[in-house]
């Protein structure tokens, strides 16, 4: 009960802090205010993250050792790189890794810093088990940390631990039912997909797309899911929508540690696009 209450209070307090920060003049914001604004913009902008990075750069300029700003900036640079939205992909990849390592140097016992830095590094190809250990430490420090549970779910998905990925992403939704802390519906849907529970996966992907219509990952994997279900017309419709958003149709599956999961995803998208190879 205490965990549930804390899980509801934490995002509510953060929402109140965001509201307070939003009414202050930009020129008078502290590094903390800038971080709060950036955090809100990151969750609303999804993979684009551009506006959040501008605020985070200002926060880091004010305090080069501010762990939360460093770790969230690492996540934002990493998402630009991974989602093909970067004008300088290699520079963004290197900057994301450098910022995450700087954040870990000053993290101490801050669960936010530990979790976000681990998230960024895992999605840049670092040893996923080591990064899961960092998130486990963050959750040991704060078991009611909803974003930490979401990040843990995402890393378990990469590692192929599907049941745990679902459990941890559901924990994040339970602890933060109103304030979004990540893209938990996508994580749960992907875990269902790789478990070949396609009907359940479709429902989660539709929720993920409703939550963030700009995130192309949901469109790719939904198309793959429809294709494996034999619902080819729907699969092709999703691919057509995806092509209006990005020229990149095939997913980058290199971060998935399980080769069967990579092949399931790729084969589904190939069927949806009509490609044979």
pLDDT, tens only, 35-57: 998 988 887 665 556 689 999 99
- The reported pLDDT for the residue numbered 23 is 33
List, for residues 195-254, the tens digit of each pLDDT value.
999 999 999 999 999 988 888 999 999 999 999 999 999 999 999 999 999 888 999 999
What is the full DSSP assignment across 17-86?
A: HHHHHHTS-GGG--HHHHHHHHHHHHHHHTT--HHHHHHHHHHHHH-TT-HHHHHHHHHHHHHHHHTT--
Torsion of CA 162, 131, 39, 17, to 10 degrees: 100
**Model confidence at 2, in pLDDT bands (50, 70, 90)?**
low
Distance (Å, rounded) from C-alpha 234 to C-alpha 272? 9
Structural domains present in the chain: 1-182 (1.25.40.10), 183-277 (1.25.40.10)
Q: How many CB atoms lie under 10 A from the CB of residue 20?
A: 11
Task: Work out the mean pLDDT of the chain and round it to a whole number.
Answer: 88
Task: Give the least confident one: 76-80, 101-105, 140-144, 190-194.
Answer: 76-80
Looking at the chain, the whole-number percentage of residues with pLDDT higher than 90 is 71
Question: For the chain, where are the E strands, in sequence order?
Answer: none
d(CA 40, CA 184): 16
């Amino acid at each position: 009960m205490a965990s549930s209450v804390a899980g509801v209070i934490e995002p509510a307090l953060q929402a109140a802090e965001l509201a307070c920060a939003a009414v202050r003049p930009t020129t008078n914001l502290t590094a903390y205010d800038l971080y709060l604004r950036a955090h809100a913009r990151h969750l609303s902008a999804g993979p684009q993250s551009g506006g959040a990075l501008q605020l985070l750069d200002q926060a880091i300029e004010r305090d080069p050792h501010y762990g939360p700003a460093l770790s969230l900036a690492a996540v934002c640079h990493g998402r630009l790189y991974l989602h093909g939205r970067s004008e300088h992909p290699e520079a963004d990849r290197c900057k994301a890794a450098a910022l995450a390592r700087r954040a870990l140097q000053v993290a101490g016992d801050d669960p936010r810093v530990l979790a976000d830095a681990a998230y960024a590094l895992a999605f840049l190809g670092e040893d996923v088990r080591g990064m899961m250990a960092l998130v486990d430490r963050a959750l040991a420090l704060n078991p009611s940390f909803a974003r930490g549970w979401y990040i843990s779910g995402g890393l378990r998905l990469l590692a192929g631990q599907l049941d745990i990925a679902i459990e941890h992403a559901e924990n994040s939704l339970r602890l933060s039912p109103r304030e979004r802390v990540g893209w938990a519906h996508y994580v749960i849907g992907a875990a269902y997909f790789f478990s070949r529970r396609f009907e359940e996966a479709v429902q989660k992907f539709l929720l993920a797309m409703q939550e963030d219509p700009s995130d192309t990952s949901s469109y790719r994997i939904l198309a793959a899911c429809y294709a494996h279900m034999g619902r080819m017309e729907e699969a092709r419709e999703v691919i057509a929508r995806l092509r209006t958003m990005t020229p990149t149709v095939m997913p980058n599956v290199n971060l998935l540690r399980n080769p069967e999961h990579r092949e399931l995803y790729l084969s589904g998208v190939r069927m949806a696009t009509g490609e044979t190879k």
